[in-house]
């Protein structure tokens, strides 16, 4: 690790950023250095802008990926190299983030997904837990046995996104499913241990592989395993759970993030009449 790389990691850790942010920022800075085959502190502002245009036009990265790269480079040049703010703003302009609505599965599609015959009992239990508790993939991978509070019907999520603990639902149905899984696999610490390294938890790639296996039997992929969390939120809203409760279950810092799910509630859309339905054509004068 170079001294510059170590300084970047130090600045990230001092601010309490997650390991995911640390890795994403390090990858972005390394990508810039590799593109020019020079140390990033030797790269000029106009070269930074040219690199971002390369990502956009040649690599054709999604806008969301480029926004991550811009944030990483802003942090590096501002907090690590201490370049003037005005120069950073010029070289790394703020990009407008696209508004993306969550994509969810219907209940009948979830029945098909969880019933996939190609899933192992462990894979099925992992996907059921992800949906039933509304967990992020990193959160379900890092669950430990003591985090399951069956007598309180709660799951404790330790240090979720934003380094926050929270509690979410641990339904009686999920308890039954996990007891069957435990009897078969007998996990000791991690709820879903790695197959190769039992003293470690399953990787996010392993969880995504389980999801890909389930949707491979004819279901559409609506954004990877994270769509199970979207489906959890949408279905609870449709069942009448209020936004504040859902916000706490999901661990959102801002209520505005939770309100995104209002856009996909089926019964609300069904209750809204079209403007065309308000017109009484029977009273309109007939023209020759």
Same domain, yes or no, for 122 and 209? yes
Query: 157 with 188, same domain?
Result: yes
CATH of residue 140's domain is 1.10.443.10
263 is catalytic: no
Residue 87 pLDDT level (bands cut at 50, 70, 90): confident
136 is catalytic: yes
pTM beyond 0.85, yes or no? no
- 161 is an active site residue: yes
Q: Identify the pLDDT of residue 166.
A: 92
Q: What is the pLDDT of residues 121-178, one digit of tens each?
A: 999 999 999 999 999 999 999 999 999 999 999 999 997 676 788 999 999 999 999 9
Written as six digits, the tokens of 179 are: 């007891």
pLDDT value for 11: 92
Catalytic residue among 166, 229, 230, 235: 229
CA-based radius of gyration for the chain: 24
Asked whether residue 258 is domain-assigned, the answer is yes
Asked if pLDDT for residue 288 goes beyond 50, the answer is: no
**Distance between CA 241 and CA 275 in Å, rounded?**
29
Residue 147 lies in a domain: yes
Q: Where are the alpha helices (DSSP H) in the chain?
A: 3-14, 19-36, 45-53, 63-75, 85-91, 107-114, 121-133, 137-141, 172-185, 204-215, 226-238, 243-250, 255-258, 266-271
**Per-residue pLDDT, 198:** 86
- Does 45 lie in the same domain as 159? no
Res 122: pLDDT: 97
How would residue 271 be classed by pLDDT, with cut points 50, 70 and 90?
Answer: low
**What CATH number does the domain containing 79 carry?**
1.10.150.130
- How many structural domains compose the chain? 2
Is 25 labeled as catalytic in the residue annotation? no
Mean pLDDT across 177-190: 95
**In terms of residue numbers, what domain contains 29?**
3-91
Among the three residues 91, 117, 133, which one is the final residue of a domain in this structure? 91
Q: What is the pLDDT of residue 28?
A: 94
Selected residue with higher pLDDT from 265 and 198: 198
230 is catalytic: no
Residues 24 and 148 in one domain: no
The catalytic residue among 136, 201, 230, 235 is 136
Same domain, 63 and 120: no
Cα distances (Å, whole numbers) of residue 86 to 72, 79, 207? 17, 14, 43
Does 139 lie in the same domain as 63?
A: no
Q: Give the residue, 20 or 10, on which the prediction is more confident.
A: 10
**Residue of 161, 167, 209, 265 marked catalytic:** 161
Regarding whether 50 and 139 lie in a shared domain, the answer is no
What is the percent of the chain where pLDDT is above 90? Answer: 58
126 and 263: one domain?
yes
pLDDT in tens, 90-126: 888 777 776 667 788 899 999 999 999 999 999 999 9
In this model, does residue 239 exceed pLDDT 90? Answer: no
């Amino acid at each position: 690790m170079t001294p510059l790389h170590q300084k970047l990691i130090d600045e990230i850790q001092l601010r309490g950023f997650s390991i995911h942010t640390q890795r994403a920022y390090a990858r972005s800075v390394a990508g810039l250095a590799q593109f020019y085959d020079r140390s990033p502190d030797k790269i000029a502002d106009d070269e930074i802008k040219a690199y971002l245009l390369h990502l956009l036009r040649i690599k054709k990265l999604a806008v969301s990926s480029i926004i991550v790269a811009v944030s990483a480079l802003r942090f590096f040049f501002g907090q690590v190299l201490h370049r003037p703010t005005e120069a950073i703003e010029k070289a790394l302009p703020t990009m407008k983030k696209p508004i993306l609505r969550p994509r969810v599965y219907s209940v009948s599609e979830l029945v098909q997904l969880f019933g996939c015959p190609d899933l192992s009992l462990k894979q099925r239990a992992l996907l059921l837990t992800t949906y039933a508790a509304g967990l992020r993939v990193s959160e379900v991978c890092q669950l430990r046995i003591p985090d399951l509070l069956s007598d309180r019907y709660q799951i404790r999520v330790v240090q979720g996104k934003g380094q926050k603990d929270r509690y979410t639902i641990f339904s009686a149905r999920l308890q039954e499913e996990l007891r069957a899984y435990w009897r078969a696999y007998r996990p000791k610490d991690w709820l879903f241990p790695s197959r190769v390294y039992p003293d470690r938890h399953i990787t996010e790639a392993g969880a995504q592989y389980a999801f890909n296996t389930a949707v491979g039997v004819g279901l559409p992929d609506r954004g990877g395993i994270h769509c199970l969390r979207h489906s959890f939120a949408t279905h609870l809203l449709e069942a009448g759970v209020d936004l504040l409760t859902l916000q706490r279950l999901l661990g959102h810092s801002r209520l505005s993030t939770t309100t995104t799910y209002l856009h996909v509630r089926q019964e609300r859309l069904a209750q809204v009449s079209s403007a065309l339905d308000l017109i009484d054509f029977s009273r309109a004068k007939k023209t020759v």
